[in-house]
Structure 1
Amino acid sequence: MLLNYLYSRHNDKTYTDIEKGVVSDNYTIEKIQVPGKKFEFHFSSSNPNAGEHNGYIYYDALNKIAFLQTEEYMPSTSESGSAELYRHYLSIDSTGNVVSSQEKEGGFFENAVLLKNELKPFQKWSDSTEKIYLKHFGKRKFNFECLNPFSGIGNPTGGSPCYIWDGDGYYTIVFKNEMLKIKMPCESGALFFSADTDYRIGLYYYERLEDDIAFLVYAKNYEQDQLYMIKRK
């Protein structure tokens, strides 16, 4: 644990919390503030014009506009006071600005296709030749409840997987031959030494190399989804 802590402090010298903004020689990665708590994941099978991929981000290559659908529950204006589901259909330009927001789909995605997630279902996180790789996992909090053999009893599905360690992932993103070094939350289900399959990452990565941009989505259950954009300085 001490060695893990010391190595984390060493990596803090070159890796930056993604919320603070991260830069390389020519590029920056910044957070895009969008309304809504959860992002809608789309399947190409539900839209014949969406292309062959599934994902969060639609893209109109002609107008260089990205589209994102979000949703959130908000207090109802009716007398019942129950929460209502609100949807937001957002258009984002090549500089990362939300240029329009509407509450109904109305053919919103008809001229766009779903971008391909560049991260594989079984990503080799420790492989430095990948577009995104995990340089280090810094352990912060040990979840003792994961050691309880009765955890999940009473839940018909057995409950969600329990991740023993909460911590920080030190990721290197390789974009246009430049490295963006980010730090963001990560979890591991391994007690001691983590393999690639032990991590709960929650990342989705979409590139538009010809337009000099990329998008990073951070999406986990029960947490606020986040959207980040890589672009030229």
Structure 2
Amino acid sequence: MFIPIIFLVIIIINYVQSQTELILPPLPYEYNALEPILSEHLMRLHHDKHHQAYTTKANAALKSMFTDETSSNELKDLAKQPIEVILTHLQNLPEKYRLTLRNNGGGYINHKLFFSMLRKPTATVTENKPTGPLFEAIENSFGSFDKFKDMFTTSSINLFGSGWIWLFIDAQTKQLSINFTVNQDNPIMFDKDHVVLLGIDLWEHAYYPVYENRRNEYVDNFWRIINWPVVESLYTQGTTKRHDL
């Protein structure tokens, strides 16, 4: 009876004394579920190669930060926190970890969000819309859903280089906003109260195998694969998030 208990204690101690470890989540659908909007080949490349690479590199940086003899206790404690918390404290990280975690920790969380927001394509763009409180909030913030869609689409097509366009809510003011980030930056890096609701990946690896240089076609088709119930769930989280967390 004592041996299993001892092993359990050892496991708990090792867990408490180690850095957070990011796990590559499986896609919540089959690789070919988004065809013809996004091909199976593209999804395997995007998830199994790119997302995995961000995960691996972020984990390596977190492990190094935790095991580095020169790391302070505060830094080691931060390495145990969820990646969302770590990304809100980038300014506190030593330079040798800051850029790696900004790029790869950001890449990890951005893709985790992005893949969760997608679904099997609807037959047309017009039939895929949010409902309930989120729809009302979008109409109140942007004038109408169509105006919001036009703003999001135009911003996505016009973004220069690699990056993301986001719809997010400020958990304190409850205001919806559309904005961009470059590379793998995420809105929470700039304000912990920013809760992402929707994002589109505008790195070429996200669409080039299917659309080549026709980004506008990719963006137009994106509206057919948004999983609005997931976005609505994130909106609910954003409206109920405590400001002191």
TM-score (structure 1 length as normaliser): 0.27
| Structure with the higher fraction of residues in strand conformation | 1
